[in-house]
A and B are shown apart, each in its own frame.
Chain A
Amino acid sequence: EVQLVESGGGLVQPGRSLRLSCATSGFTFDDYAMHWVRQPPGKGLEWVSGITWNSGTIAYADSVKGRFTVSRDNAKNSLHLQMNNLRPEDTAFYYCVKDRGPLHLGEFRFWGQGALVTVSA
């Protein structure tokens, strides 16, 4: 059974940093590209970042480019999102999402349960 479990969310002040992690199981992690997708409470979905199986291709939404860094550890079956210089508009549930295959296809096959990040003074 595929499992994606996010951790590291919480309350943080504007301008500070936070690191999200996604622990995965139930599939061969390094066979798949992975993504982060976010959703402000009560609002719609926004793709944030994606990374191919070998970290060879990494992409970001313009809204987070230069502030967020995605990475993966294939030995530990984990995905990470380093978020720096956080802004109130970054407040959202952050979902770890598994792609259909190893490349950056954008086909969001399976979603984790999400971690809430709240940016507020």
Chain B
Amino acid sequence: EIVLTQSPDTLSLSPGERATVSCRASQSVRGNYLAWHQQKPGQAPRLLISGASNRAPDIPDRFSGSGSETDFTLAISRLEPEDFAVYYCQQYGTSPWTFGQGTKVEI
């Protein structure tokens, strides 16, 4: 199975700053089928990005995804208070579908 490794584990930033989360795959992700999900405390995850760079409906444009093959990035251009959460990358190019371990973006 494809192992996804995110870095860093925790990102400590202030509102208004830029956040960058990395996701590295143990092998090439077929079709760049890489998604990013956001999870706030006590809530279910929510899809942010699919296909490495396509924002899901109603996701603000301060969220962007990039990358290909084995290296992917989620960027949040200017952090809003509601963006402090845990972010997971997930590949769906090769079954079984797998997730990264998560990156906590904290104040």
Contacts and interface: CB of A to CB of B under 8 A. Distances in A.
A61 B97 CA distance: 9
Given A44-B102, A107-B50, A113 B96 contact: no
A106 B97 contact: yes
Given A106-B92, A106-B95, A111 B46 contact: yes
A104 interface: yes
A13 B43 CA distance: 26
Contacts of B88: 44-45
Interface string A29-71: 0000000000000001111001000000001011000000000
Contacts of B95: 59, 104, 106
B106 to A, nearest CB: 15
Interface residues of A, number: 21
A107 B36 CA distance: 10
Contacts of A100: 50
Interface in B51-107: 56, 88, 90, 92, 95-102
A95 B47 CA distance: 13
Interface of A: 44-47, 50, 59, 61-62, 95, 100, 104-114
Pairs of residues from A and B, 10 with the lowest C-beta to C-beta distance, nearest first: A106-B92, A106-B97, A111-B44, A45-B99, A47-B97, A44-B101, A44-B102, A113-B44, A111-B45, A107-B92
